[in-house]
Structure 1
Amino acid sequence: MLSSISPEVPPSAPDLAALAENHYFSTNPPPKDLAKHEALARDFINFHAAAGSRVVLVTSGGTTVPLEKQTVRFIDNFSAGTRGATSAEYFLEEGYAVLFLHRQFSLLPFSRHYSHATDCFLDFLREGPDGSVVARDEDAAKMLHVLRKYRDARDRNMLLVLPFVTISDYLYELRSVARLMRPLGPRALLYLAAAVSDFFVPPERMAEHKIQSTDAADLVKRSAGRSTSPSVEEDEETFDNFDSSPSVPRSKRLVVDLDPVPKFLKNLVEGWSPEGMIVSFKLETDPAILVHKARYSLGRYQHHLVIGNLLSTRKWEVVFVAPGQSDRWIRVPISRRKKTTISTGSGGQQQEEEEARESPVPATKDQLQQAAQQPLDPKSLPEGEPELEIESLIIPAVRDLHTRHMEGPQ
């Protein structure tokens, strides 16, 4: 008698997500300080869970992609952690306890004001008459203000700072902290501002030692039989990287084979922190695709908010893309842009009237509304930084959405 054979059923999307998660974390080693960081995060979260506080996890800075296990070379991105560090300060002002998961040596809340290359903290100090170190008179008031805010956050246990370096470190830390935040329920907010690598080198394909720019075996042979200075041939080999010739032998090229980093945002939404509100970021350089990519991400991962921003205008405007809501542009008001522009923002009737007056042809309300839904032209913006940090507008708006999330369906 023949037994019936049931057709093979392909795995469902949740199964595929679980398989990808299990494979990644079973083949990539955890960071050495993971247990220590978990203990610190657990105590911090439990403290605020007992107090009924809102807790936000802010991720910040870029993730590295090591090319060797004993890492000398790695792939990185430009992120200095400005968005995350600045946002953390404004979350504290809104009453959140902040768990700040950041790239090691990237900007930190409060100290960010004095750690940039153009604002070295030593420039703000002078030697006092008795050999003490004091703030310069013109900077003392601001430094005292920042210091008091920092001390208040630390003294009240409102800020916990945890570092990561690599993409693997980041994903391990994110998963651990997100799971620890489950007891907070909808009071948990995950604000994912880190610039996360899209590609990585799997450990089984990673070199153990530093990747050599010359053939190490030949170099050893030459060194063994050499008692005088290097030959012309070896000298040319040493400086091969400076050869301006467009034709480089393939044997001397470094070809890096990268795999895509699994997309764990769906795991985060459905498994790691199913009740928390999750905010992701979408950075693009092409204004034509920004909103489209943000909507696609929102639909694919079914989370709560995508904050879209363009590289050229990220300090001046962002767009909120949320389910069931119209896209909302948040912009630094014209009055805080250091000089008058003719760009259309979203600052209400007074701003619309101001822009209509500036326009050589009076704009209709429909034209103003249509312009308000388009990205700013970078050429219309003044040089330098805006007077107002856009995070001071972003975070209150995120808090309002989080309040609605906590209240649940009406």
Structure 2
Amino acid sequence: MAEPGKEKGEKEDAEDAAALAAERRVRAWAAAQVARGRRVALVTSGGTQVPLEARAVRFLENFSSGRRGAASAERLVGLGYGVCFLHRARSVFPWARALPPHGPALLDALRLTPGPPPGVAAAPAALPALLPALRDYHRATEEGALLAIEFTELAEYLALLRAAARALAPLGSSVMFYLAAAVSDFYIPASEMPEHKIQSSEGPLQITMKMVPKMLSPLVRDWAPEAFVISFKLETDPQILIDKSRQALEKYRHQVVVANVLESRRTSVIIVTSDSQTPLSLSEEELAQGMEIEEKIVSYLQGQHTAFIERKG
């Protein structure tokens, strides 16, 4: 059996190697985007997993499904961006949203076809949404416009974000960081984490967690100082939403906060900058037509990014 310290060191070494490999991948992919004349967006998506034990059996999670990040990635590709999609494993993926959810709904959408050899086809009712999604996905991948990188645990996400930011920094103001991932605010440092599974026989569990180091500050200051950076602020109390968003802009010195309230996040947001706040919402007619709020968010932010590049130029 490995010593506890050694085991943790090996895990950290593996994470460092994965981050270095990711940085090389992103750097090569970004060069191809520049050659094609594309702007680049790094979209982070989904929630982070925070382990409670070194040999993790238990974790802390949040409710994020990654739907906003996936929908936004689709829109950005459609507007001509190359998108590096840094996403939680098994979260919602661009264009795969057109598939029914896993379980009976997915199985019911499939049909057996007679052989020989027998095969599988989509049910006609599933095709209206699936066909355009498949077409757009294959176009994006064939043109190299989508680079997907997975993470699971919080430490993995932070290392990959840093690696990707360093790879994209040479692109300057043409890079958009669209930080839609729901990153945990709290964690247990590896040095304070129990090695083995926490035993319920020891009684009620009491956990002391530390604050997760904020990545916006080094991202804006050191990793990609010329980039256009967008963060997201979700609150349950609408009374504090704008103040919290402005505090974030003042503290981290980035360009935009997309502010939203939990209950209405699918239909309305407020785009907050240092000198403006712009509400975006879906009308009843737009909702009936199946429009998503991400279409308005991404379209608005594309304009903001263009203005940012012009000011920098």
Question: C-alpha distance in 2, partners of 1:257/1:114?
Answer: 40
Shift of 1:292: 1.0
Q: Does 1:273 align with 2:224?
A: yes
Partner of 1:198: 185
Residue 292 of structure 2: aligned partner: 389
- Bigger shift: residues 137-146 or 147-156: 137-146
1:335 corresponding residue in structure 2: 285
Read off the aligned partner of 2:188 and give its amino acid letter: V
The answer for the alignment partner of 2:4 in structure 1 is none
Give the counterpart letter for 2:244 in structure 1: K
Distance 2:28 2:312 in 1: 31
Cα RMSD after superposing both structures: 1.9
Match of 1:319 in 2: 270
Contact preservation (8 Å) 1:49, 1:183: no
Of 281, 287, 291, which aligns to 2:238?
287
Instruction: Specify the structure having the higher radius of gyration (Cα).
Output: 1
Contact kept in structure 1, 2:99 and 2:130, CA below 8 Å: no
Q: Indicate the SS of the match to 2:237.
A: coil
Q: Deviations over 1:46-88 (max 9, x none)?
A: 2112333100000000111111111111111000101001110
Q: Which has the higher contact order (CA 8 A, sep 6+)?
A: 2
Alignment of 1:58-69 (within 5 A): 58-69=43-54
Alignment of 1:1-400 (within 5 A): 29=12, 31=15, 33-114=18-99, 116-117=101-102, 120-130=105-115, 131-215=118-202, 252-324=203-275, 326-338=276-288, 387-400=290-303
**In structure 1, what is the Cα distance between the partners aligned to 2:242 and 2:262?**
14
Tell me by how many angstroms 1:37 deviates: 2.0
Distance 1:80 1:123 in 2: 23
C-alpha displacement at 1:321, in angstroms? 0.3
The number of residues matched between the two structures is 300
Q: Hey, what's the Cα distance between the residues in 2 that align with 1:309 and 1:120?
A: 30
Measured in 2, the distance between the counterparts of 1:91 and 1:57 equals: 10
- The Cα shift of 1:135 comes to 1.4
Whether the aligned pair in 1 keeps the contact of 2:55 and 2:196 (CA below 8 Å) is: yes
1:323 Cα deviation from its structure 2 partner = 1.8
Distance, in Å, in 1 between the alignment partners of 2:205 and 2:152 is 23
Amino acid at match of 2:307: R
The alignment-based identity, stated in percent, is 40
Give the whole-Å Cα distance in 2 for the aligned partners of 1:298 and 1:115: 38
Structure 1 residue ranges, 4+ long, deviating more than 6 angstroms after superposition:
none
More strand by share: 2
Do the aligned residues in 1 keep the contact of 2:100 with 2:109 (CA within 8 Å)? no
SS in 2 for 1:106: coil
Would the aligned equivalents of 1:126 and 1:134 in 2 still touch at CA under 8 Å? yes
* 1:117 to partner: Cα distance: 4.7
